């Protein structure tokens, strides 16, 4: 699809406008043709619009998630290799092994890709429930790769983990509370299996960002120093001190400040050294998760960013552990980290079709604001005069007059002194006043306080075919930010300012905060939709969003396409997984399809008897009802 460039606006301007180089990590770029491309490795890139067009041409419906396994594999490789480089640079005597916590994204394509890409690095998996453990045990993993069992456990969880060791898996059961030790010892004796035990310690150090409260003394998981030493003593008593192989710590997800990482790692290493001194024979030091993702590209300690790179993270972890071990005279441990967000976020893109646009000035801009009639209300005449006379010198005074006139207009309407026609005319004039003032102050360095939200007030609402609660729950629940960019027309200057709304019957189903290098923007610059479909991509949404989504309004999981990029801008859609059907969503609420069909058939028969349906209409009704039960839960339009 070719577009006519806007004079004076380049694709470099578009890349800067949407901050693509800052948040993409090199995995996405704006091409010279004004299209957003996925770049899975040097020389391998493909326009996202081409993939979407192929999906539509196949007769599939949108929205859709595009998954790029090559990006996911590349993230696994990058993490392991930067740790390898840091270990070589500092002369660290042991090695690094990553562990992927599958709670971040349990989708089969994700887990299997991580396990495969990480095989040569002995990159392992982490399970936090019995279901996750059952899933992890079935994966092909390197014999040395760790399978960490975290979270609270019952006998069944522990027993399954011990059976994993008999299968040759390097399963480590992490003690999250002191009472779990007895359960582990009891089940191990019953099965005759020697356990590998880890213990989570509550660090005093805490992370930074939205999950800061998950660390520290009041953390949900972990043992205190006294309990830690009691574990060592108990295992000595049982003659099983060699079973304690790992110290595990964690200070929260999405750590924004590298200084917090270094403080936590130093405390963890001091604790490791103390356990060695107490007689433990630890092999692994697990520094937990928290490696961040720079969602807004600002490289700051803002909650949607991080002030460090993956390479800097690895170097600081290795150096801090080595420095502390040397000072305490203890052997260096194998370094473990449980990064999930940093591995998975980049690989998935949610494609949103824009299906309509609404806004306070949508139907006004092409309408000539003619002079009011003689019998129009005086307020209408006053507001029309304001429109004609606004200038740089008086726009603030005129704005305040217009606000007062609008309020008076509404008050008089409520009392019956203003007609509906005059109210409509007055509101149109008020919006024209706002639009004219907005244009006047665009170049102003200082904007009066009362006009700061003017752009948001005037913003269009781009209606997108998706459910915020299903596909981007973190945006709704914790105001997480995700980069959002048009897939094409990036050689044309956007002329609209917009917010996004979904198709749920919920006023919270909207996106009104967007990434910015200096602040959070209230609107997103977009193009005027034309005859061709207009698509937006939501990026960095591969972590947690797939698994946290809710069934609000019974909108189900979105279809997904697994895409491999080939040389020359070509690509393969290796797998297309259709989204959930309406029938499945309804059944998840306790209904049964036959019961639903029977009810509709009974009602149709009754309508046929009283004459409100003809036999032909009855047949068509039942056929349409059945088709919708088997249809996509999202709106289905024929793309032009």
Q: State yes or no: 549 annotated in a binding site.
A: no
Q: State yes or no: 290 annotated in a binding site.
A: yes
- In 3D, which of 522, 501, 377 has the Cα closest to residue 438? 522
Contact call for residues 195 and 145 (beta carbons, < 8 A): no
Q: State yes or no: 59 annotated in a binding site.
A: no
Q: Report the largest interatomic distance among the alpha carbons of the chain, rounded to a whole angstrom.
A: 101
Q: State yes or no: 382 annotated in a binding site.
A: no
Distance from C-alpha of 438 to C-alpha of 267, rounded to nearest angstrom: 53
Q: Residue 348's beta-bridge partner residues?
A: 67
Distance from C-alpha of 352 to C-alpha of 63, rounded to nearest angstrom: 6
Q: State yes or no: 446 annotated in a binding site.
A: no
Contact call for residues 84 and 96 (beta carbons, < 8 A): yes
Q: Is 8 left (phi over 0), alpha (psi -120 to 50) or beta?
A: left
- Three-state SS at 604: helix
Read off the tokens for 510.
């909207």
Q: DSSP secondary structure string, 39-83?
A: EEETTEEEEHHHHHHHHHHTT--S-EEEE-HHHHHHHHHHHHHHH
Q: State yes or no: 168 annotated in a binding site.
A: no
Distances (CA, A) of 336 to 122, 307, 321: 11, 22, 11
Q: Is 149 a catalytic residue?
A: no
Contact call for residues 574 and 564 (beta carbons, < 8 A): yes
597 exposed, middle or buried (CB, 10 Å; 0-12, 13-18, 19+)? middle
230 φ/ψ angles, rounded to the nearest 5 degrees: -65, -35
Q: State yes or no: 509 annotated in a binding site.
A: no
CB neighbours of 526 closer than 8 A, spacing ≥ 6? 460, 462, 486, 494, 496, 497, 498, 536
* Alpha helices (H) along 105-206: 108-117, 130-137, 155-166, 180-191
Read off the tokens for 288.
């937990």
Q: State yes or no: 292 annotated in a binding site.
A: yes
Contact call for residues 196 and 169 (beta carbons, < 8 A): no
Q: State yes or no: 286 annotated in a binding site.
A: yes
User: Considering Cα of 513, then 519, then 523, then 524, what sign does the dihedral take?
Assistant: negative
- In 3D, which of 126, 145, 402 has the Cα closest to residue 289? 126
Q: Which among 148, 149, 464, 505 is annotated as catalytic?
A: 505
Q: State yes or no: 289 annotated in a binding site.
A: yes
Three-state secondary structure of 287-303 = CCCCCCCCCCCCCCCCC
Distance from C-alpha of 61 to C-alpha of 584, rounded to nearest angstrom: 17
Report CA 601 to chain centroid distance, whole Å.
42
Secondary structure percentages of the chain, helix, strand, coil, to 5: 45, 15, 40
User: Considering Cα of 488, then 490, then 496, then 502, what sign does the dihedral take?
Assistant: positive
Q: State yes or no: 291 annotated in a binding site.
A: yes
- In 3D, which of 196, 195, 248 has the Cα closest to residue 223? 248
C-alpha neighbours within 13 Å on the C-beta side of residue 486? 26
Distance from C-alpha of 170 to C-alpha of 220, rounded to nearest angstrom: 26
Which amino acids are annotated as binding site, given as ranges? 285-295
Residue ranges at the known binding site for substrate: 285-295
Which residues are known to be catalytic? 505
């Amino acid at each position: 699809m070719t577009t006519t460039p806007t004079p004076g606006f380049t694709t470099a301007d578009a890349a800067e406008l949407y901050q693509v180089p800052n948040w993409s990590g090199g995995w996405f770029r704006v091409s010279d043709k004004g299209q957003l491309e996925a770049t899975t490795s040097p020389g391998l890139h493909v326009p996202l619009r081409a993939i979407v067009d192929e999906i539509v041409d196949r007769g599939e419906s949108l929205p859709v998630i595009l998954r790029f396994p090559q990006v996911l594999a590349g993230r696994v490789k990058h993490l392991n290799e930067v740790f390898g480089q840091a270990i070589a640079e500092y002369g660290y005597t042991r090695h690094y092994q990553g562990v992927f916590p599958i709670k971040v994204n349990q989708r089969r394509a994700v887990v299997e890709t991580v396990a495969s890409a990480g095989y040569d690095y002995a990159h392992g998996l982490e399970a936090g429930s019995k279901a996750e453990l059952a899933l992890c045990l079935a994966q092909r993993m390197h014999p040395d790769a760790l399978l960490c069992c975290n979270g609270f456990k019952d006998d069944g969880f522990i027993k399954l983990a011990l059976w994993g060791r008999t299968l040759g898996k390097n399963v480590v059961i992490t003690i999250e509370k002191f009472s779990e030790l007895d359960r582990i010892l009891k089940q191990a004796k019953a099965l005759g299996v020697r356990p590998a035990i880890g213990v989570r310690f509550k660090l005093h150090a805490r992370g930074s960002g939205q999950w800061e409260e998950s660390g520290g003394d009041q953390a949900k998981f972990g043992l205190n120093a006294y309990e830690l030493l009691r574990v060592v003593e108990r295992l000595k008593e049982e003659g099983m001190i060699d079973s304690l192989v790992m110290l595990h710590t964690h200070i929260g997800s999405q750590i924004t400040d590298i200084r917090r990482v270094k403080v936590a790692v130093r405390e963890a290493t001091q604790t490791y050294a103390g356990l060695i001194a107490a007689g433990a024979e630890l092999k692994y030091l697990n520094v937990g998760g928290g490696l961040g993702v720079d969602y807004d590209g600002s490289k700051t300690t803002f909650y949607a960013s991080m002030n460090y790179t993956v390479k800097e993270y690895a170097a600081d972890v290795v150096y801090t552990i080595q420095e502390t071990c040397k000072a305490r005279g203890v052997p260096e441990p194998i370094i473990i980290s449980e990064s999930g967000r940093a591995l998975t976020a980049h690989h998935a893109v949610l494609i949103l079709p824009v299906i309509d646009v609404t806004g306070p000035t949508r139907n006004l801009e092409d309408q000539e604001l003619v002079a009011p009639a003689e019998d129009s209300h005086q307020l209408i005449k006053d507001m029309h005069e304001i429109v004609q006379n606004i200038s740089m010198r008086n726009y603030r005074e005129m704005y305040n007059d217009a606000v007062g006139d609008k309020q008076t207009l509404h008050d008089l309407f409520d009392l019956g002194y203003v007609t509906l026609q005059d109210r409509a005319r007055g509101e149109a004039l008020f919006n024209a006043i706002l639009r004219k003032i907005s244009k006047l102050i665009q170049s102003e360095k200082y904007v009066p306080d009362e006009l700061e939200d003017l752009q948001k007030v005037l913003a269009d609402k781009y209606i997108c075919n998706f459910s915020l609660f299903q596909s981007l729950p973190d945006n709704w629940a914790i105001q997480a930010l995700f980069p959002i960019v048009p897939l094409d027309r990036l050689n044309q200057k956007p002329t609209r300012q917009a917010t996004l709304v979904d198709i749920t019957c919920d006023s919270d189903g909207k996106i009104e905060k967007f990434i910015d290098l200096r602040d959070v923007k209230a609107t997103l610059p977009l193009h005027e939709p034309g005859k061709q479909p207009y698509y937006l991509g939501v990026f960095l949404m591969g972590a947690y969003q797939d698994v946290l989504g809710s069934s609000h309004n019974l909108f189900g999981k979105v279809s997904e396409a697994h895409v491999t990029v080939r040389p020359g801008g070509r690509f393969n859609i290796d797998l297309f997984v259709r989204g959930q059907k309406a029938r499945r969503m309804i059944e998840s609420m306790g209904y049964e399809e036959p019961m639903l069909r029977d009810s509709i058939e009974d009602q149709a028969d009754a309508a046929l008897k009283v004459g409100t349906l003809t036999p032909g209409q009855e047949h068509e009704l039942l056929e349409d009802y059945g088709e919708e039960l088997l249809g996509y839960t999202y709106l289905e339009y024929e793309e032009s």
